[in-house]
Amino acid sequence: MNSVWLDTDPGFDDFVTWLLLEGLPGTRLDGVSVVAGNAPLEHTLANALKISTFLKSGAPVYAGCDRPLVAEQVTSQHLLGESGLSSNGRTLPESTLRARPEHAVDALALHLERTPLTTVVAIAPLTNLALLLRRAPHLARKIERLVIMGGSSDGGNHTAAAEFNIFADPEAAAVVFGSGVPIHMFGLNLTRQVLVTRRHAETLRATGTPAGELLADHLDFYLQIRDPQRNAPMPFHDPVTAVFLARPDLFREVPAAVEIELQGRLTRGMTVCEFRVPRKAPPTAMVAVEADSEGVMAYVMDRLLMFCG
* Residues listed for the chain: 309
81-126: per-residue pLDDT in tens? 999 999 999 999 999 999 999 999 999 999 999 999 999 999 999 9
Task: Work out the percent of the chain whose per-residue pLDDT is above 70.
Answer: 100
CB–CB of 5/120 below 8 Å?
yes
Q: What is the pLDDT of residue 136?
A: 97
**In degrees, to the nearest 5, what angle opens at C-alpha 240 toward C-alphas 225 and 209?**
65
Q: Is 103 a catalytic residue?
A: no
Q: Kindly name the residue from 43, 111, 218, 237 that is annotated as catalytic.
A: 237
Per-residue confidence band for 247, with pLDDT thresholds at 50, 70 and 90: very high
Per-residue confidence band for 285, with pLDDT thresholds at 50, 70 and 90: very high
* 130 pLDDT more than 90: yes
Q: What is the pLDDT of residue 309?
A: 84
Domain boundaries, the chain: 2-308
**Beta-strand (E) ranges in 139-213?**
143-149, 183-186, 195-196
**In degrees, to the nearest 5, what angle opens at C-alpha 34 toward C-alphas 33 and 40?**
170
What is the rounded average pLDDT of the residues 298-308?
Answer: 98
185-202: per-residue pLDDT in tens? 999 999 999 999 999 999
Per-residue confidence band for 1, with pLDDT thresholds at 50, 70 and 90: confident
211: CB partners within 8 A, 6+ apart: 307, 308, 309
Per CATH, the number for 2-308 is: 3.90.245.10
CA–chain centroid gap for 139, Å, is 21
